Amino acid sequence: MKKKQEKFEMVASEYNVSLFPIFMSVNAFCYEFKKNLGKRIIFAEIFKNHTEEYYMKPSMWQSAHAELVGKIDNNKKELQNILDKTIELGQKIMKFGDAIPNKVPELNNLRLWEIYDNFCKINTEVYGYGLMLPLLDFQSSSYLSDKVNQILEKRVLKGKISEYFSVLTTPTKETYSKKQDIDLYKILAKIEKESRLYKLFSNKAAHEITKEIRLKYPPIFQSLIDHQEKYEWVYYGLEGPPSDMESFIECISGWVKRKVKAEKEITKNSSYIEKLKEKQFDMVQMLGLDDDEQLIINLAREAVFIKPWRKDAQSFAYFKMEKILVEIAKRLRIKIDGVRMMLPKEIKKSLKDNVVDKRVLKRRLEYSLYTIINGAPILMVGKKAKKYFQENFKIEVSRLGQINELKGTVSCAGKTKGRVTIVNMPGDMKEMEEGDILVSFATNPNLMPAIRKAGGIVTDEGGLTCHAAIVSRELRIPCVVGTKIATKVLKNGDWVEMNAINGTIKLIK
């Protein structure tokens, strides 16, 4: 009897995404994981009009997870090595991005291709180690979370476990996003000294404020220029856009309208880090942890920091690579969207022959599928892709029924209630109001303007090291991740009561 073939199952989705750079993550799960871990995972990516869905075969994920867990249980240095290699390769990709020449139009086609090709190779290496953290701690594969909880369950009252977990696993290092905030608070401090200008931030549009600062407050305008040059890449994500001056001014306007005071926030952040370190030390002493237990908690905390740091490193590199993609698009007489839907060998050939089929690229944007079949990368388009999807993918049928309470994992403790706003892509952010409960399949850096307004955050996917978990702790917003179905159960305008102590979200009206 023929063995029934395992089908791909959906694990995540993203918005504002193209084939570049996602094909590198698919390649890394197959080729780099086989080299680094001895196991491969076959992923498939579906692209539909700048949205993307991730699929994988569960048995391969579980097998690779078990292999990685076995290695770490046998020798905790295995995890430290993964963290160290992720940092090393992240620094390598940032250095590569920094070295890209400014005068890209002067490069010949061969040099343009070499930069593109080398970038793809290094970035695939970054994914090869960086993606081991979600393999270790994502959704049902929750090694680090389980290990920390096992330690706490032996020593802490059940009602206090979430609080201890949150404190002990919160990094004491600042992300680039947090550094950006602190430097922007310093500009706010200068604005607060100019009473007339300060008032403009509460009642004028960003473009009007920009014009006023440029004409009448040159030193502050220069501070904003310097800030933009330093941090325009921080929320770039996979394909931007970079932050312009008006986006930073809008952030300051939000603070002014909420009566946020710069010096208070700067001091609060500095004291928060010091108090956090003290609290972590006191908890470790009170719990009487042995060396192995302390190591687990330290590694979990380091993993929580390194996962978003790795994404930041890649975001920086993607921002730097944009000028290469723009130049390729210009020479091929297509839009950058088209370049992002090409594979390396196609770009090489097109630059050589000066020919590209725009109709094929348009079809790829509409519907395409990228995966590995029999060891080789395959890109399918249109009807062929849809047929392969129908035959090889598990299609979810919604049978949720009436659900009034959701359960997930606490990332930042707290209690709140408020109106639900679903925010999955930047276009959704206009619906977000101050204090709303932000509900998302998964947050990302492009959603930061909405996240800053949130009274609470709830996500379908995620674990200890996901974006929502990290940013909620930095901003100290109650957060529950990994509910799996929040975006299917809740809708805009619902009112919920959120208990980010026990991880529940109740629909109240």
pLDDT at residue 163 in the model: 85
Task: Give the 3-state secondary structure of 120-149.
Answer: HHHHHHHHHHHCHHHHHEECCEEHHHHHHH
Say whether pLDDT at 351 is over 90. Answer: yes
Residue 51 — very low, low, confident or very high, per pLDDT cuts 50/70/90?
A: confident
pLDDT at residue 321 in the model: 98
Instruction: Confirm if 506 and 496 have CB atoms less than 8 A apart.
Output: yes
Question: What is the Cβ-side half-sphere exposure of residue 308, based on CA atoms within 13 angstroms?
Answer: 29
Cα 175 to Cα 472: distance, rounded to the nearest angstrom: 12
Say whether pLDDT at 361 is over 60. Answer: yes
Cα 248 to Cα 250: distance, rounded to the nearest angstrom: 5
Cα 209 to Cα 245: distance, rounded to the nearest angstrom: 10
Cα 509 to Cα 501: distance, rounded to the nearest angstrom: 21
Query: Quick one: 441 exposed, middle or buried, by C-beta within 10 A (0-12, 13-18, 19+)?
Result: buried
Instruction: Confirm if 326 and 334 have CB atoms less than 8 A apart.
Output: no
| Most confident residue range from 109-118, 145-154, 272-281, 423-432 | 109-118
Residue 12 — very low, low, confident or very high, per pLDDT cuts 50/70/90?
A: confident
Residue 2 — very low, low, confident or very high, per pLDDT cuts 50/70/90?
A: low
Say whether pLDDT at 1 is over 70. Answer: no
Query: Quick one: 326 exposed, middle or buried, by C-beta within 10 A (0-12, 13-18, 19+)?
Result: middle
> 414-422 and 437-440 as β-strands: parallel, antiparallel, unpaired?
parallel
Alpha-helical segments (H) within 154-241: 161-169, 176-192, 195-203, 206-216, 218-231
Torsion of CA 489, 494, 500, 506, to 10 degrees: -70
Cα 86 to Cα 93: distance, rounded to the nearest angstrom: 11
Q: For residue 192, how far is the Cα from the chain centroid?
A: 33
Say whether pLDDT at 72 is over 70. Answer: yes
Cα 224 to Cα 344: distance, rounded to the nearest angstrom: 37
pLDDT (tens digit per residue) in 278-313: 999 999 999 999 999 999 999 999 999 999 899 999
Instruction: Confirm if 236 and 318 have CB atoms less than 8 A apart.
Output: yes
pLDDT (tens digit per residue) in 221-263: 999 999 999 999 999 999 999 999 999 999 999 899 989 999 9
pLDDT (mean) for 420-438:
91
Class of 405-507 in CATH: alpha beta
Instruction: Confirm if 17 and 50 have CB atoms less than 8 A apart.
Output: yes
Task: Give the 3-state secondary structure of 306-318.
Answer: HHHHHHHHHHHHH
Query: Quick one: 261 exposed, middle or buried, by C-beta within 10 A (0-12, 13-18, 19+)?
Result: middle
Say whether pLDDT at 100 is over 70. Answer: yes
pLDDT (mean) for 394-408:
77
Phi, psi of 29 (to 5 degrees): -60, -30
Q: Which residues, in sequence order, are CB contacts of 278 under 8 Å at separation 6+?
A: none
> 141-142 and 9-15 as β-strands: parallel, antiparallel, unpaired?
unpaired
Q: Which residue has the tokens 């290469």?
A: 324
Question: What is the pTM (predicted TM-score) of this model?
Answer: 0.91
Domain boundaries of the chain, sorted by first residue: 9-143+304-392, 176-269, 405-507
pLDDT (tens digit per residue) in 134-179: 998 865 668 998 999 999 999 998 788 888 988 999 999 988 999 9
Say whether pLDDT at 189 is over 90. Answer: yes
pLDDT at residue 141 in the model: 67
Q: Considering the chain, what percentage of its residues have pLDDT values greater than 90? A: 75
pLDDT at residue 399 in the model: 57
Q: 93-97, 257-261, 346-350, 375-379: lowest mean pLDDT where?
A: 257-261
Instruction: Confirm if 299 and 77 have CB atoms less than 8 A apart.
Output: no
Give me the chain's average pLDDT, please.
92
Say whether pLDDT at 441 is over 90. Answer: no
Residue 204 — very low, low, confident or very high, per pLDDT cuts 50/70/90?
A: very high
77-98 helix and 58-74 helix, angle to the nearest 10 degrees = 110
Cα 201 to Cα 251: distance, rounded to the nearest angstrom: 10
The CB density around residue 308, as the number of other CB atoms within 10 Å, is: 22
